[in-house]
């Protein structure tokens, strides 16, 4: 039985799909105004891991993940959002149209997902193409007394009309700081400080505005996720994923909207992924501490080294990435592929039941990927298990971990990388990073003694391994 930590229930819960055999999952997608950094990608990996694990249980899985190309304002994580639309702001900076910017970064996002083996969602609606859905939803909320239009054309959700508001984040309405903000008089009709805009009035000559019964404007960011999830997944959604920072106000507001439309609890389980630090600091453009997947590839590291580095930590544990840990993960991924290809050449044997049981138990236990990886390392070294069984067990596990571990099977290749060379290659990458060329040269010579020839390329270090002599044991 698959179990996951449910933020609203404050505990690990058994996942029982509302429709037997079919899991419906919604994932908050990217706001496409810049390249996603590797920390952003960890959230999307969470959805992919749940999907792969659910499919192992024989469930069909339907995933909807939105593309936010309008309505996400710079301060939308504040209780009283204000500020400029992130896509419009970037479009001005790049001298392009808003939709050109949005499509460019959306394409980049899908490429990054593919490089990390993060599967495509079944539905990936764009906010800018779903405006009718949102207008319909807002009209229903107004008709049922959950929302109200104000002079000027904005529409607010009446927070006090949603019983149980705050259950995800623990933020009670009474405790929320009153923080009235008035933007050119547009917000003057707001009745309660915690009410939020479902529709924001805007001048008709602004890019990305639409006509609504209340006036010209654009939808609020929280509006889109309710409208899209209800449209594509219905009013019974098994799992909703997102980054931990989306708990409030984004998910809280979305829950209030969706429950008000459906008249019952729509999302059965809210599952949140934790942040990634890089070199001990938050990844943020403002501090220059941002690492993109293209930076990883430029150093000659396999993008799936990032996926493995994430899997070394449970999704709800904050983690720190460094270039050293990525180099070590890169070495592990490459060594495992070599081993799996070697094992594939040995006589075929059934999957190792004991290890498979331990692996699947760990994955079902709130995605305990660190335990699963420890089990794989133990299996790789276990001399009692025939190579053919190791191959089958690694191959089956890789359908969930998705590290391309069978990619070298049947391919011509150099000899496997000696185990001790992994750490040395990582140390050498780090030495070059800090311009310590004496250490780099010393490590190159030591690697050569192990039969590993290293060369430096514009993409980082590359290596070949001299095959062992035929008579070696």
Stretch that binds Zn ion, among 36-44, 225-233, 316-324, 352-360 (CB under 5 A): 225-233
Assess 225 for contact with Zn ion (CB under 5 A). Answer: yes
Q: Contact letters (x/-) for Zn ion, 169-208, by CB under 5 A? A: ----------------------------------------
Residue 47 beta carbon to Zn ion: minimum distance, rounded to whole angstroms = 12
Q: How far apart are CA 146 and CA 137, in angstroms?
A: 11
Neighbour tally for 121: CB within 10 Å: 24
Footprint on residues 313-332 left by Zn ion (CB under 5 A): none
Count the residues of the shown chain that bind Zn ion, applying the rule CB under 5 A.
Answer: 2
Residue 27 beta carbon to Zn ion: minimum distance, rounded to whole angstroms = 8
Q: How far apart are CA 395 and CA 87, in angstroms?
A: 42
Instruction: Give Cβ neighbours of residue 101 (< 8 Å, ≥ 6 apart).
Output: 32, 33, 87, 90, 91, 94
Residue 167 beta carbon to Zn ion: minimum distance, rounded to whole angstroms = 17
The CA R_g of the chain, rounded to the nearest whole Å, is 25
Instruction: Give Cβ neighbours of residue 48 (< 8 Å, ≥ 6 apart).
Output: 117, 118, 119, 402
- By C-beta, is 227 or 417 nearer to Zn ion? 227
What CA dihedral angle connects 281, 283, 286 and 290, to 10 degrees?
120
Omega of the bond prior to 291 within 30 degrees of 0, cis?
no
Distances (CA, A) of 2 to 122, 184, 370: 21, 51, 16
Residue 252 beta carbon to Zn ion: minimum distance, rounded to whole angstroms = 11
Q: What is the DSSP letter of 279?
A: T
Stretch that binds Zn ion, among 20-28, 109-117, 350-358, 421-429 (CB under 5 A): 20-28
Footprint on residues 378-417 left by Zn ion (CB under 5 A): none
H helix intervals, 382-434? 387-401, 419-433
Q: Which of 15, 25, 28, 328 binds Zn ion (CB under 5 A)?
A: 28
Stretch that binds Zn ion, among 10-18, 107-115, 123-131, 219-227 (CB under 5 A): 219-227
Stretch that binds Zn ion, among 24-32, 299-307, 343-351, 465-473 (CB under 5 A): 24-32
Residue 251 beta carbon to Zn ion: minimum distance, rounded to whole angstroms = 7
- By C-beta, is 8 or 390 nearer to Zn ion? 8
- By C-beta, is 29 or 303 nearer to Zn ion? 29
Secondary structure (3-state) at 43: helix
Taking Cα atoms as reference points, which of 64, 37, 49, 40 lies closest to residue 2? 49
- By C-beta, is 28 or 424 nearer to Zn ion? 28
Q: How far apart are CA 27 and CA 225, in angstroms?
A: 9
- By C-beta, is 225 or 267 nearer to Zn ion? 225
Stretch that binds Zn ion, among 22-30, 107-115, 135-143, 179-187 (CB under 5 A): 22-30
- By C-beta, is 226 or 389 nearer to Zn ion? 226
Residue 282 beta carbon to Zn ion: minimum distance, rounded to whole angstroms = 21
Reported as half-sphere exposure (CB side, CA atoms, 13 A), residue 292 has a value of: 13
Residue 250 beta carbon to Zn ion: minimum distance, rounded to whole angstroms = 6
- By C-beta, is 70 or 304 nearer to Zn ion? 70
In this structure, what token pair is assigned to residue 270? 């809210």
Q: How far apart are CA 262 and CA 227, in angstroms?
A: 11
- By C-beta, is 83 or 370 nearer to Zn ion? 83
Stretch that binds Zn ion, among 23-31, 139-147, 326-334, 366-374 (CB under 5 A): 23-31
Assess 73 for contact with Zn ion (CB under 5 A). Answer: no
Stretch that binds Zn ion, among 21-29, 124-132, 166-174, 406-414 (CB under 5 A): 21-29
Q: How far apart are CA 284 and CA 280, in angstroms?
A: 12
Stretch that binds Zn ion, among 161-169, 193-201, 224-232, 432-440 (CB under 5 A): 224-232
Q: How far apart are CA 235 and CA 246, in angstroms?
A: 21
Footprint on residues 104-133 left by Zn ion (CB under 5 A): none
Q: What strands lie across the sheet with 196-201, from one edge to the other?
A: 147-149, 155-157, 196-201, 215-219, 210-212
- By C-beta, is 50 or 379 nearer to Zn ion? 50
- By C-beta, is 229 or 332 nearer to Zn ion? 229
- By C-beta, is 240 or 307 nearer to Zn ion? 240
Residue 61 beta carbon to Zn ion: minimum distance, rounded to whole angstroms = 19
Q: Which residues pair with 242 in a beta bridge?
A: 272
Q: What is the DSSP letter of 456?
A: E
Instruction: Summarize as ranges the residues that interact with Zn ion (CB under 5 A).
Output: 28, 225
């Amino acid at each position: 039985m698959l179990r996951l930590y449910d933020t609203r229930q404050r505990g690990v819960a058994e996942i029982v799909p509302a429709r037997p055999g079919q899991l419906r999952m919604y994932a908050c997608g990217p706001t496409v105004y810049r390249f996603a950094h590797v920390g952003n990608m960890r959230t999307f990996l969470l959805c992919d891991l749940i999907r792969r694990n659910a499919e192992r249980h024989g469930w069909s899985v339907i995933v909807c993940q939105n593309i936010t190309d309008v309505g996400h304002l710079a301060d939308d994580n504040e209780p009283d959002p204000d500020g400029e639309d992130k896509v419009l702001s970037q479009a001005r900076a790049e001298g392009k149209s808003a939709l050109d910017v949005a499509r460019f970064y959306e394409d980049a996002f899908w490429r990054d997902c593919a490089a990390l083996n993060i599967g495509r969602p079944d539905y990936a609606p764009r906010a800018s193409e779903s405006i009718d859905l949102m207008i319909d939803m807002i009209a229903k909320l107004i008709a049922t007394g959950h929302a109200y239009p104000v002079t000027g054309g904005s529409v607010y959700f009446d927070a006090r009309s949603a019983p149980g508001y705050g259950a995800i984040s623990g933020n009670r309405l009474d405790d929320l700081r009153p923080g009235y903000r008035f933007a050119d008089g547009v917000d003057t009709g707001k009745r309660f400080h915690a009410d939020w805009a479902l529709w924001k009035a805007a001048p008709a000559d602004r890019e990305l505005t639409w006509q609504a019964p209340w006036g010209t404007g654009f939808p609020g960011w929280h509006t889109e996720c309710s409208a899209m999830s209800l449209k594509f997944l219905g009013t019974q959604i098994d799992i909703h994923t997102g980054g931990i920072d989306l708990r409030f106000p984004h998910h809280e507001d979305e829950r209030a909207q969706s429950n008000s439309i459906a008249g019952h609890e729509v999302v059965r389980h809210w599952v949140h992924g934790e942040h990634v630090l890089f070199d001990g600091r938050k990844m943020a453009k403002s501090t220059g501490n941002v690492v993109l997947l293209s930076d990883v590839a430029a150093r000659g590291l396999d993008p799936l080294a990032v996926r493995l580095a994430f899997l070394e930590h449970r999704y709800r544990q904050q983690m720190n990435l460094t270039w050293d840990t990525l180099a070590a993960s890169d070495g592990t991924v490459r060594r495992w592929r070599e081993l799996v290809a070697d094992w594939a050449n040995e006589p075929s044997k059934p999957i190792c039941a004991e290890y498979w049981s331990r692996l699947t138990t760990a994955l079902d236990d709130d995605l305990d990927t660190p335990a699963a990886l420890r089990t794989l390392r133990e299996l790789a070294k276990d001399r009692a298990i025939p190579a053919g069984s190791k191959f089958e067990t690694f191959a089956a596990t890789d359908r969930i971990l998705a590290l391309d571990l069978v990619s070298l099977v049947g391919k011509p290749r150099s000899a496997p990388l000696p185990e001790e060379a992994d750490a040395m290659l990582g140390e050498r990458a780090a030495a070059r990073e800090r311009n310590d060329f004496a250490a780099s040269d010393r490590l190159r010579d030591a690697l050569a003694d192990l039969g590993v020839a290293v060369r430096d390329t514009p993409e980082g270090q590359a290596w070949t391994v001299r095959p062992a002599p035929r008579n070696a044991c």
